[in-house]
Amino acid sequence: MTTSTPTTGTTGRPTAPPRLSPRKARDLETLHAAITVATDPVPCQSSDHPLAWISDDPDEAAAAARACRSCSVLEACGSYQRTHREPAGVWGGKTPSQRQRPKRTREVNPR
């Protein structure tokens, strides 16, 4: 779980961080609280390579997503992402490209 916050605008001057909706702020706070009280290590917080969770390198992101499988807040993290559609970073064990893949549907026999 990571978020990207632009620090400079097109003028190069610092910009204010984007405002979160009250619901998103509450849900993010709830997820953060779950991470904080987790008794098992949360991979994105305990990794030696935390930038993998926001990497543009597909292999690094995929490795981060695999590491999420042992996370005790995997479901909550994925639920947060599905609700708020975070576009970047690994959330709930999925990379951005994995989240964009359409769900497989049962093929109908064309006979």
Binding residues (CB under 6 A) for ligand SF4: these are: 1, 35, 42-44, 53, 68, 71, 73-74, 77, 90-93
3-class SS letters over the chain: CCCCCCCECCCCCECCCCCCCHHHHHHHHHHHHHHHHCCCCCHHHHCCCHHHHHCCCHHHHHHHHHHHHHCCCHHHHHHHHHHHCCCCCCECCECHHHHHCCCCCCCCCCC
Please, what is the minimum distance in Å from the beta carbon of residue 67 to ligand SF4? 6
Please, what is the minimum distance in Å from the beta carbon of residue 7 to ligand SF4? 22
Please, what is the minimum distance in Å from the beta carbon of residue 6 to ligand SF4? 21
Euclidean distance between CA atoms 14 and 17, whole angstroms:
9
Please, what is the minimum distance in Å from the beta carbon of residue 43 to ligand SF4? 4
Name the residue nearer to ligand SF4 (CB basis): 20 or 34: 34
Name the residue nearer to ligand SF4 (CB basis): 3 or 15: 3
Euclidean distance between CA atoms 64 and 67, whole angstroms:
5
Name the residue nearer to ligand SF4 (CB basis): 94 or 108: 94
Name the residue nearer to ligand SF4 (CB basis): 15 or 29: 29
